[in-house]
Amino acid sequence: MNPVGSEIFAGHFRSRRVMVTGGGSGIGFGIAQAFAEAGASVLLVDRNPLVSDSAAQLREAGYDAEHAVADVTDEAQVKAAFARVVDLWGGLDVLVNNAGIITISNLEDLSLEEFNKVLAVNTTAVFLCCREAAGLLRASGKGVILNASSGQGRQGFIYTPHYAASKFGVIGLSQSLAKELAPSGVRVNSYCPGIVKTEMWEYNDREWGRRLGDYKPGELIQEWIDGIPLKRPAEATDVANLLLFLASDAGSYITGQAINIDGGMFMN
Ligand code: NAD
């Protein structure tokens, strides 16, 4: 069992207000749960209406959790989600831009629409949410932005030029904002997961496996896991542990960084 950051940081985030995009499922739900367990009030934002069930699950466990259904690529819906933050809490301390999508395609079959769609969710939406959050985070005095990049923000993989471009973009965007917002005490970092077994990976295993050889379901991901120095995929908890640290007072001298959370897959 992994050490659970929410136990180490128990109570640390009490009275802090945390928004997690893509918080309805996968890594985002794990992040929201970890912040809630560490005492925060959390708002789960997701385009999937099932996010209401995810927030209800946290409330049933005794945590302070709300939800907003919003597509983070839609400027009006992003503004509405931040209006809900103001209605709920009157401010914000931590923004986690976790929402992301991937598609796998060889170059000639990759349409402009598909390229732009991946950039819209993974990069442009991060800009939209950061822009709406900036004033609230400045007012917080402990404002933190955490942006989901990827191992593919470090090194492009085959058949995902759009995804790699989007995740490299997140790192540059985060560095630029870290410099602009530092004088007002807002820290901005990005994080780079390697392999986290979520719905995203079921798709990756199938589609990469089909293109890279005659892989049966689960074989390709296992081959990649075998190449990880720590020999296991990440749990959402592993990613959440890093984010708790970065958002905590213990991380108060860290800004503008992109941090790998991948069992040693990338060492840069
Ligand atoms: P996932 O597909 O399991 O979950 C993504 C969540 O984001 C879903 O709840 C989905 O509804 C939501 N979402 C997608 N588009 C949205 C939009 N436009 N507006 C609002 N919500 C939206 O994905 P995951 O594996 O949990 O990945 C989370 C983040 O971590 C992504 O940014 C992803 O690129 C990144 N990441 C994942 C892995 C991995 O191995 N799973 C590795 C590196 C980086």
With the most atoms of ligand 1 within 8 angstroms of its CB, the residue from 200, 222, 243, 261 to mutate is: 200
Domains and CATH numbers, the chain: 4-194+234-261 (3.40.50.720)
Residue 233 DSSP symbol: P
The pTM score is 0.98
Is residue 163 annotated as part of the catalytic site, yes or no?
Answer: yes
**Are residues 190 and 174 in contact, defined by beta-carbon separation less than 8 angstroms?**
yes
Q: Is the CB of 2 under 6 A from ligand 1?
A: no
List per-residue pLDDT tens for the chain, 268 residues long: 455 788 999 999 999 999 999 999 999 999 999 999 999 999 999 999 999 999 999 999 999 999 999 999 999 999 999 999 999 999 999 999 999 999 999 999 999 999 999 999 999 999 999 999 999 999 999 999 999 999 999 999 999 999 999 999 999 999 999 999 999 999 999 999 999 989 898 899 999 999 998 899 999 999 999 999 999 999 999 999 999 999 999 999 999 999 999 999 999 9
- Distance of alpha carbon 49 from alpha carbon 114, whole angstroms: 23
Q: Is the CB of 149 under 6 A from ligand 1?
A: no
Q: Is the CB of 121 under 6 A from ligand 1?
A: yes
With the most atoms of ligand 1 within 8 angstroms of its CB, the residue from 53, 54, 69, 198 to mutate is: 198
Instruction: Kindly give, in sequence order, each residue whose CB lies less than 8 Å from that of residue 209, ignoring residues fewer than 6 positions away.
Output: 215, 216, 217, 219, 220
